[in-house]
Amino acid sequence: MLYCPKCFGNHLKLAPRGVVHISINNKHMQSSQFLFNTVKDDEKVIANNIREKFDEFMNWYSSFQNKDPIKDVQLSSSDFVCENGCKVSISSRYNIINILISQEIVMKILNEVAYSYNIRVEVDPSKNF
């Protein structure tokens, strides 16, 4: 559970359905988001969605003149609910790594997709997640 800024306790949990937003090196494509539904999607479906979005991003990013190595990856969502019923602001986004999907899988997909576009990955998982 995450910290709720309204009731000041660790009462925020991910909603069963929502949208995940992806940003890489603080860049965000309009299409870098996907829907999740934990009622029907297993981790494999979520992993496939992430792979597809990473692929779209790397395809775009690989056309840049100056390609910095990938240092920062954010997967976040506003679709959290507070157990105490607080209204969660839609402008607040919370990290979903290790909540919706494990960091290990996200890093594995990131490394594989970046490698296929010849883009270096220098994410420090201890700082990034």
Q: Which residues bind Zn ion (CB under 5 A)?
A: 4, 6-7, 11, 82, 84, 86
Minimum distance, C-beta of residue 89 to Zn ion, in the bound complex (Å) = 11
Other Cβ atoms less than 10 A from the Cβ of 86: the count is 17
Cα–Cα distance between 7 and 87 in angstroms, integer? 10
Nearer to Zn ion, 48 or 84 (CB): 84
Nearer to Zn ion, 53 or 93 (CB): 93
Nearer to Zn ion, 13 or 21 (CB): 13
Nearer to Zn ion, 7 or 99 (CB): 7
Would the CA dihedral through 25, 31, 35, 36 be positive or negative? negative
Minimum distance, C-beta of residue 86 to Zn ion, in the bound complex (Å) = 3
Minimum distance, C-beta of residue 53 to Zn ion, in the bound complex (Å) = 30
Cα–Cα distance between 40 and 67 in angstroms, integer? 37
**Long-range contacts of 37-40, Cβ-Cβ distance < 8 Å, separation of 24 or more:** 38/14, 38/100
- Residue count (the chain): 129
Minimum distance, C-beta of residue 76 to Zn ion, in the bound complex (Å) = 18
Q: Give, in order, the Cα–Cα distances in Å from 102 to each of 4, 7, 61.
A: 22, 27, 24
